[in-house]
Chain A
């Protein structure tokens, strides 16, 4: 078990390193960072000056190694634009994205689990049809469209909620719904199919035959097994929400890590991009490990 864990950690770290190198190269492929830094009115001479001042004239691998060396010493560098340490910018932004991601995954689970269970319990009924309609709708509707519908409805027609910013919990309501609704369909379908499978299993029939109340069978015996794949999926969905909340953050002007990532790529702010990529890869690694632990807790057979 210990060897297995070590192997996993090492391969995860190698993956994170590889991803960070890839992102370094991709930034260069997307545009010369010196030209990006010189700004929209920058002349060719300005770009050359930036190239020398920020070391963009070094070979890419040398720049990358320099970055790795500093990062290993806990120094993520200075943002080329904010003129602040990347770590301090990141801290605030990640907090906002975490809040959004967490509330969205909670919203998605609160929505999906009951719907999935109900659809499985009353399979092929009107409820099942309705749940399927919700799932298909959530899958088919682009996030930005739902976001704009919510804005028009809850902010313009009935001005109840603020449209942009992240100052209070009220600012997170619409973004949470938008982001959560996008993650829900997969969770609904997985809960439903898992429950159907489990409800057909012999031990459930046995439990029912023993006269255990239906509700207890459903939640105590069936759900526990059906929910295992859902846990793994929510972990990856949560990771996706953290890294993929760009659209939602853009529409609602939530200055989180997603928006920072997309803006930094446009600006070719290498130290910021690198730090974000590193954080996101580490978060993924931690999340998948956490999902495995939760599953082990739910299913003793997986503890081996």
Chain B
């Protein structure tokens, strides 16, 4: 009896202790703290060094850029700039906002802007994503609040890059702190400042009260944001279920089904710019592989039942893709040759090409859920094509693919979250080292589209190129991606298609 009492007392004590000490971490709306988690480890708070999307999402809390893109209208709004204009095809002039404060209390001037743009575009600086900076020739100070940006050549994506991908650093602080300092103690002028950092695992942001009033990012509603790395998805599901987390993303279809049954959670799926595809290397094995024949490539397109795979294994708002870019991107023509599921036709084409019994082929894959890859292989087997799978880590697979060691590669691509076809189709068809085909007609068209600032010209070029890619069946475009999120019902927040979760827009209901 006495023992029973003691045991019960111990249990009660444990629960009380748990309840009391855990309370602060569990509250979301209650203590105005948004708790979010990612699976991917974020390594640096220096925007120009961080490779992960998750890291870059956090950067947009800390740093502001000259411009901001309105995701609803597609319009570029001035952010740190008050206004901007094209002086000529290669020159942009910015009038800067006055009185903007950095988190260390200093005031932003033309010196900070000129310093940052010249620094990150310099060769020695070695910015991780060159595409964001390699078009800049130099920046010049006109006066304390006026800056000119001179491009190497006319660049149609200049505004896209300036809106989000080119944050402005405080010159004085950065000169003192350097890359390593910025990586752990970042100072920006954004809506949140970083107040606590455990390298790779935990980041605490607090609303910056000195934030300028009429920023297009708006005034943040939530006081604190705690972002943590939780590599195991099941742990994330447990925490979002019991309220330790307020928001998680990249749910698998079955997790989405399970979590949507919890009364405290809202599960949403949003289409994003990322898409999956299989790329062919027709020149594989000195051009003697079956894939050198366009009929074979078309046959493989016909053989894969994409709608069924999406329904069973991809889920969410994903859709069948027929072209070599995302339909939401500028210039992405969708009126191209498409191949709906037709195994009989696939077999007929294979027979015409001289492979009535099919053939064996190596398939390289990186970063794809195994169920999706396996069901594609099963579809191919149905028309006699025996695919042998090599599933590798991203870096290893990419090296093998670039070295021409595989005839087929299944992969996905996010276009840096930028809604322009030149970041989807051009990297793979404009004669770069990532282009195994190097079709001269495509190279010419895409080079023109990538450098012209005439929107109609670009559209026409992209359309012609995409039609040829589809007609030649250089790819099997598979499907667009969607991201499924689970969040507490107290939270008012949605994802935009560029995969940049804008937590500064989040509100409590």
Contact = CB atoms under 8 A, between A and B. Distances in A.
A206 interface: no
Nearest to A249: B231
Nearest to B392: A31
B3 interface: no
A121 B359 CA distance: 67
Contacts of A31: 392-397, 399
A52 B12 CA distance: 62
Nearest to A260: B200
Contact of A253 (B180, B232, B392, B394): B232
B46 interface: yes
A115 interface: no
A155 interface: yes
A114 interface: no
Counting chain A residues whose Cβ lies within 8 A of the other chain, the interface size class is 35 or more
A39 B26 CA distance: 34
A164 B25 contact: no
Contacts of A251: 232, 234-235
A164 B179 contact: no
A52 B161 CA distance: 26
Interface in A125-175: 144, 148, 151-152, 155-156, 158-165, 168, 170
Contacts of A92: 198-199
A84 B180 contact: yes
A163 B200 contact: no
B399 A35 contact: yes
Interface in A70-127: 78-79, 81-84, 89, 92
B51 A39 contact: yes
B7 interface: no
A193 interface: no
A162 B395 contact: no
B228 interface: yes
Interface stretch (A12-20, A43-51, A233-241, A293-301): A43-51
B44 A39 contact: no
A280 to B, nearest CB: 19
B44 A156 contact: no
A158 B244 CA distance: 13
Nearest to B202: A165
B231 A268 contact: no
A274 B493 CA distance: 42
Contact of B402 (A36, A44, A253, A266): A44
A161 B131 contact: no
Interface string B198-220: 11111000000000000000000
B18 A43 contact: no
Given A31-B399, A33-B395, A164-B230, A82 B129 contact: no
A24 interface: no
A255 B199 CA distance: 9
B399 A253 contact: no
B433 A255 contact: no
A275 to B, nearest CB: 14
Interface in A171-223: none
B41 A44 contact: no
Nearest to B14: A160
B2 to A, nearest CB: 23
Nearest to A253: B230
Contact of B228 (A53, A79, A165): A165
A92 to B, nearest CB: 7
B179 A83 contact: yes
Contacts of A170: 18, 21-22
B289 interface: no
Contact of B244 (A44, A48, A162): A162
* A41, A148, A152, A260, most chain B CB atoms within 10 A: A41
Nearest to A46: B130
Interface string B13-53: 01100100110011000000000010001011010010110
Contact of B239 (A83, A164, A168, A250): A164
A32 interface: yes
Given A35-B398, A263-B41, A155 B201 contact: no
B457 interface: no
Contacts of B444: none
A285 interface: no
A173 to B, nearest CB: 10
A82 to B, nearest CB: 5
Nearest to A89: B199
A253 B235 contact: yes
A282 B434 CA distance: 43
B434 A43 contact: yes
Contacts of B201: 165, 253, 255
B308 interface: no
A6 interface: no
B51 A45 contact: no
Interface string A247-286: 0001111010001100100101000000000000000000
Contacts of B180: 78, 83-84
B130 A32 contact: no
A155 B238 contact: yes
B184 to A, nearest CB: 7
A24 B43 CA distance: 22
A30 interface: yes
A49 B234 contact: no
B135 interface: no
A47 B18 CA distance: 49
Contacts of B46: 83
* B52, B232, B239, B416, most chain A CB atoms within 10 A: B232
Contact of B15 (A30, A38, A160): A160
A80 to B, nearest CB: 9
17 contacts: A31-B393, A35-B399, A38-B128, A43-B432, A44-B433, A79-B43, A81-B51, A83-B49, A92-B198, A148-B234, A156-B241, A164-B37, A164-B235, A250-B231, A253-B228, A253-B229, A255-B198
Interface of B: 14-15, 18, 21-22, 25-26, 37, 41, 43-44, 46, 49, 51-52, 126, 128-131, 179-180, 183-184, 198-202, 228-232, 234-235, 238-239, 241-242, 244, 367, 392-399, 402, 413-414, 416, 427, 432-434
Given A43-B432, A159-B26, 20 more contacts: A35-B399, A35-B402, A42-B51, A43-B434, A44-B432, A45-B432, A83-B49, A83-B183, A84-B180, A84-B199, A92-B198, A151-B234, A161-B18, A162-B25, A162-B244, A164-B37, A164-B228, A170-B18, A170-B21, A251-B232
Interface of A: 30-33, 35-50, 53, 78-79, 81-84, 89, 92, 144, 148, 151-152, 155-156, 158-165, 168, 170, 250-253, 255, 259-260, 263, 266, 268
